[in-house]
Amino acid sequence: QVQLVESGGGLAQAGGSRRLSCAASGRTFSSYNIAWFRQAPGKEREFVAAISWSGMSTSYPDSVKGRFTISRDNAKNTVSLQMNSLKPEDTAVYYCAANLKGSSLYYTPSRYPYWGQGTQVTVSS
């Protein structure tokens, strides 16, 4: 029902910034809540940020709160993740994911049926 493609990954220095984008195609993009997850080698997939269909509600774990910001532009069918004050532990493949809008935002991968292919972010010291 919706297709997602991430972009913007690459190499960054510790303390630097990078902006990721998730482009969506298909019908009714504004009907979906969107989240970002990341997965480092040997680790479980980790929740990074989520945003409601309206953009009025957002959620972050303590590991990125104050450093990362999620936003969306439904007119352009895009969701962005602005990453500031990057740390080496932010190194991972970053994925965007979608589920149908509801009253709650979710933090586990199993709650999201639609996924992009991921984009690599590497943060060096």
For the record, the structure tokens of 107 come out as: 């933090």
For the residues 79-99, what does the mean pLDDT come to? Answer: 97
For the residues 96-117, what does the mean pLDDT come to? Answer: 90
State percent of the chain over pLDDT 90.
80
Residue 30: which pLDDT band, with cuts at 50, 70 and 90?
Answer: confident
φ/ψ region of 74 (left if φ > 0, alpha if ψ in -120 to 50, else beta) reads: alpha
Q: What is the DSSP letter of 108?
A: S
Higher pLDDT, 25 or 45: 45
- Decide if pLDDT at 101 tops 90: no
Mean pLDDT (the chain) is 94
3-state per-residue secondary structure call for 35-91: EEEEECCCCCCEEEEEECCCCCCEECCCCCCCCEEEEEECCCCEEEEEECCCCHHHC
Residue 29: which pLDDT band, with cuts at 50, 70 and 90?
Answer: confident
**What is the predicted pLDDT for the residue at 53?**
86
**What is the predicted pLDDT for the residue at 120?**
98
